[in-house]
Amino acid sequence: MEKAIEILKQNNYKITKQRTDLIDFLGKFTVQYVSINDIANYMRSLYPGMSNNTIYRNLKEFADIGLVEYQEKDKTLVKYQCDFTHRHHHHFVCKNCGKVTELKACPMEFFADQLPGYTIEGHAIEVYGLCADCTKKLNA
């Protein structure tokens, strides 16, 4: 929470009760994604009149300054930034329990070597499968 507040201040955002409550909720999701609907339901339980626009705007601002990460699949999911010192990183996502594990290496050099003369403008890499705990349960 302290690091998030510091980042908000560095980026000239007001530290409001709504933002700190949102950060507090998102802080529970460092190793798992949460749906925007769940975030909206939580925030509306605290602030019944809060609009979708306010929730989405804050989440976008949080993403822009590196407080949260998005995953776009069947629906948009969000999780609290797991590594403030390395904003650029990749994840392994367990398809069974949803646990997210940060991957330390970036394979872009491998891909860039295969694309001489190309201009790579960005990438997003997630690896999917079963985490060690789910694999162990499956094989038990």
55 C-beta neighbours (distance < 10 Å), count: 20
82 is in an annotated binding site: no
123 annotated as belonging to a binding site for a ligand:
yes
Tokens 């491998």 belong to 110
94 is in an annotated binding site: yes
Binding site annotation covers 97?
yes
Specify which residues 90 forms β-bridges with: 103
86 is in an annotated binding site: no
Residues 32/98, Cβ–Cβ less than 8 Å: yes
Tokens of 114: 């295969």
Q: Which helix H or strand E contains 80, and what residues bound it?
A: strand 76-80
Contact indicator for 77, 83 with CB cutoff of 8 Å: no
| Binding site feature residues for Zn(2+) | 94, 97, 131, 134
Please report, in range form, the residues annotated as the binding site for Fe cation.
88, 109, 123
Annotated binding residues, as ranges?
Answer: 88, 94, 97, 109, 123, 131, 134
